[in-house]
Amino acid sequence: MKIIAQAAPLLSIPTPVLVIGLFAEKALSPRQQEINTALGEVLEQALREQEFSGKPGETLLLHSGKRLPAQRILCVGLGQEKNYSPAQVRQAAASAAELVQKKRIPSLALDLDSFVTSAVALNQAAAAATEGIVLSAYRYDDFRHDTAKDLTPLLREALLIYASAAEQRGVERAVTAAQIVCAGVCLARDLVNAPGNVKSPQDLAERCRIEGEAAGCVCTILHRQALEDEGMGALLSVAQGSMREPCLIILEYRGAGDQAPLALVGKAVVFDSGGISLKPSEKMDEMKMDMAGGAAVLGTITAAARLRLPINLVAIIPAVENLPSGHALRPGDILTSLSQKTIEVLNTDAEGRLILADAITYVQRYQPEAIIDVATLTGAVIIALGHQASAVLGTDQALIDALLTAGDRSNERLWQLPLWDDYDQLIKSDVADIKNSGGRPGGTITGAAFLKAFAGEKPWAHLDIAGTAWEEKGRPGIPKGGSGVGVRLLIDFLQARTKS
């Protein structure tokens, strides 16, 4: 997808469709009046007849009948101005792009100035519009032969038009940065959407190496022997039921000399059948998405490196497959983790916390200033928050607050759940130091409480993305399938952290 930002007089642009933003309950701006006049007042007429009210994401497509160099005008709703933020720009741009695509129109021009208010500056509008457009023009079609005939073609080009040539540098920079972030999101989506048969832990490691090195990261992969030498009994136990070899993927990005790095840890279970505690077969296919935390961490560190953020990062991605077999982990087994803590396995389907325990222990040797883990950890988070937000829990309120703010800004929302020590009782074992399941009550919290036992003293936060990593129906800017959630959130978090 080509995004071109161009300072030009709006009404001189020849384009199959010109997208303009309109607020609800607001009179037409002088420039919208100009368009209205050029169109023989049909815009005003449509508003009067209430064919368009300006609700967020609402669209109205008008043909210009050769009265403008633009063949069509596409009005898109921005909602009420008092609720306006970059999230509304993103949503409006995504809705517009989706409609344009559905109509098989190959390119669009967008009136960036109609998205600018006192709350959203031109460069912010440019970034959010880029995100909305690029992320809705995503499709996973690696395995489809019918792309040419049956599927609607994806948008190929978008022009972002604005008046003030003086702001060219800022706008272009914002668009370039947004495209880098979107590439990270789409990389995460591609990996999540890939079927289990083409993403063994080793395949994933290879992809991480290729993508990481291309972005300027250093990649190290620990294979079975190294994991055994280290003593990663928890990670290895999950992998033992699968023929596929586990690994620990390490990516490092240095953008800030000798500073302590921030650690990102991402769960990557390439397929989670539950193991001996087998999951029901309905929708088990979706468990290929159980590596979405790892994918988000990869998308984040590669984007951060391409953006040259002034920060050091270390990403740890434990990669395994959770299958039942004659070699598989059993309920009742007791493991010795890398931390030397022993773990009683009550449920082999609570495998994410086992591999994360060793990964979180391992990352301590980098002496990180803080640790953030990202994981599709519990079904319980879907019961608690639905598919509209990820859960955040942790040991450091300042870190959690910064993540919550990034969640609001990126619209990859987070909601904090408590992590009082009282919950630790639920994962006390009679026979080992800790057990891997606290049962159904507070499932997301006891999952986090388990991880807390391995997190050490430094600020740590856990993101449970089990409800947000997979989009079932499709919404503006998030087609069905892997959502790539976490990448925009974490990049926003890192950008804010490096500014303060």
> Any idea which residues carry the catalytic annotation?
279, 353
Rounded to 10 degrees, what is the CA torsion of 365, 366, 371, 373? -80
* Closest distance to Mn ion from the beta carbon of 447 (Å): 10
* Closest distance to ligand BES from the beta carbon of 240 (Å): 16
Question: Which of positions 73-92 make contact with Mn ion (CB under 5 A)?
Answer: none
* Closest distance to ligand BES from the beta carbon of 431 (Å): 18
58, 349, 412, 492: which one binds Mn ion (CB under 5 A): 349
Q: Considering only the stretches 58-66, 176-184, 363-371, 374-382, report the one whose residues sit in contact with ligand BES under the rule CB under 6 A.
A: 374-382
Q: Considering only the stretches 60-68, 268-276, 360-368, 424-432, report the one whose residues sit in contact with Zn ion under the rule CB under 5 A.
A: 268-276
- Is 156 within 8 Å of 259 (Cβ atoms)? no
Secondary structure (DSSP) of 161-207:
EES-GGGHHHHHHHHHHHHHHHHHHHHHHHHHHS-GGG--HHHHHHH
Query: What phi and psi, each to the nearest 5 degrees, are found at residue 379?
Result: -65, -25
Q: How many residues bind ligand BES (CB under 6 A)?
A: 14
- Is 192 within 8 Å of 289 (Cβ atoms)? yes
Q: Whose Cβ is closer to ligand BES: residue 98's or residue 290's?
A: 290
Residue window 284-323: x/- pattern of binding to Zn ion, with contact defined by CB under 5 A: ------x---------------------------------
Q: Considering only the stretches 187-195, 245-253, 377-385, 452-460, report the one whose residues sit in contact with ligand BES under the rule CB under 6 A.
A: 377-385
Show the DSSP H helices in 14-141 as ranges: 30-38, 42-48, 86-102, 122-136
- Is 339 within 8 Å of 352 (Cβ atoms)? no
- Partner touching 302 among Mn ion, Zn ion, ligand BES, none, CB below 5 to 8 Å by kind: none
- Is 494 within 8 Å of 177 (Cβ atoms)? no
Q: Which amino acid is at 345?
A: V
Residue 273 in the binding site for ligand BES (CB under 6 A): no
Q: Is 57 left (phi over 0), alpha (psi -120 to 50) or beta?
A: left
Q: Whose Cβ is closer to ligand BES: residue 132's or residue 481's?
A: 481
58, 111, 131, 349: which one binds ligand BES (CB under 6 A): 349
Query: What phi and psi, each to the nearest 5 degrees, are found at residue 70?
Result: -80, 130
- Partner touching 71 among ligand BES, Mn ion, Zn ion, none, CB below 5 to 8 Å by kind: none
352's CB contacts (< 8 A; 6+ apart) are 267, 269, 272, 290, 375, 376, 377, 447
Residue 351 in the binding site for ligand BES (CB under 6 A): yes
111, 272, 321, 471: which one binds Zn ion (CB under 5 A): 272
Distances (CA, A) of 173 to 121, 122, 167, 180, 332: 14, 12, 10, 11, 55
C-alpha span between 406 and 87 (Å, rounded) = 12
Show the DSSP H helices in 267-378 as ranges: 292-306, 352-363
For residues 75-88, b (16+ Cβ closer than 10 Å) or e, as one string? bbbbbeeeebbbbb
196, 352, 368, 407: which one binds ligand BES (CB under 6 A): 352
When CB distances to ligand BES are compared, the closest residue is: 379
Secondary structure (DSSP) of 232-249:
-HHHHHHHTTSSSPPEEE
When CB distances to Zn ion are compared, the closest residue is: 272
Question: Which of positions 402-441 make contact with ligand BES (CB under 6 A)?
Answer: 437
Residue 272 in the binding site for Mn ion (CB under 5 A): yes
Question: Which of positions 344-403 make contact with Zn ion (CB under 5 A)?
Answer: 352
Q: Whose Cβ is closer to Zn ion: residue 130's or residue 376's?
A: 376
* Closest distance to ligand BES from the beta carbon of 282 (Å): 12
Residue 321 in the binding site for Mn ion (CB under 5 A): no
Contacts with Zn ion, residue ranges (CB under 5 A): 269, 272, 290, 352
